[in-house]
Amino acid sequence: MTASAVLFWGLGAAQALLLLAMALAAWRMIRGPRAQDRVLGLDTLYLNAMLLILVQGMRSGVGLYFEAALIIGMLGFTATVALAKFLMRGEVIE
Amino acid sequence: MNTPSDLPLWAAWAIVVVTLCGSLLALSGSLGLVVLKRFYERVHAPTLGATLGMAMIVIASVTFWSLSEGRLALKDLLIGVFLTVTTPVTLILLARAAVYRDRVEGNDDAPSE
């Protein structure tokens, strides 16, 4: 096997695992049962999506995916903090 | 810049193995999110993927870009540093919000003082 074939199939398998992880997190986000479970599911979903995009950057050899992963990580952090604040206080900015 | 096919074979295998291990960790974290019964148990599960799983994929990415660009490409460590700083903050805020809600509603699930 050549190096590019190893990278193509191996990283593809890693992406399949991360997609499965995203599906499980989405299941928790949809099923609940409570709001904090949904926020936790959304946080995990963000994280797995960021890792998936990072792996896609390696698989395709395009450097731009790094910026997308960084932005998703930052937005995920902000979203989860805002949602946790909302669960605690009922409003985000007091 | 070289194309990815110019990587040596051993480097390709190393990158693939480390990435697969990181993905498996992220998957087991998400599996814990589904399998575990209580919220206070579930809040621990995603940290598997957020710490070691993320670190392994970031290390594989740094190796990949350093070898394919022929210079030290450390920009991917930014994601690692950022996630390491933010993950405990988000989870502690979420857990405190959950404790607050459980106490206000008088659920037995909330941990005692």
Q: What range does the domain containing B86 cover? A: 12-105
| pLDDT tens column, B33-44 | 999 888 888 888
The residue ranges of every structural domain in chain A are 3-89
Cβ of A14 within 8 Å of Cβ of B23? The answer is: yes
What's the pTM value of the predicted model, to 2 decimals? 0.89
In a domain, B5, yes or no: no
Which residues contact residue B81 at a Cβ distance below 8 angstroms, ignoring those fewer than 6 apart? none
In this prediction, residue B101 carries a pLDDT of 86
Q: How confident is the model at residue A47 (pLDDT cuts 50, 70, 90)?
A: very high
User: How many folded domains does chain B comprise?
Assistant: 1
Burial of A3 (0-12, 13-18, 19+ CB in 10 A): buried
The kind and range of the H/E element at A74 are helix A65-89
Residue B113 lies in a domain: no
**Closest residue of chain B to A59, computed from CA coordinates:** B4
Which one of B52, B71, B90 makes the best mutation probe of the A interface by having the most chain A beta carbons within 10 Å?
Answer: B90
In sign, the C-alpha dihedral spanning B9, B10, B13, B18 is negative
- The ipTM is 0.87
**Share of residues in chain B with pLDDT > 90 (%):** 36
Read off the pLDDT of residues B20-71 as tens digits, 9 standing for 90 and up.
999 999 999 999 999 988 888 888 888 888 889 999 999 999 999 998 888 8
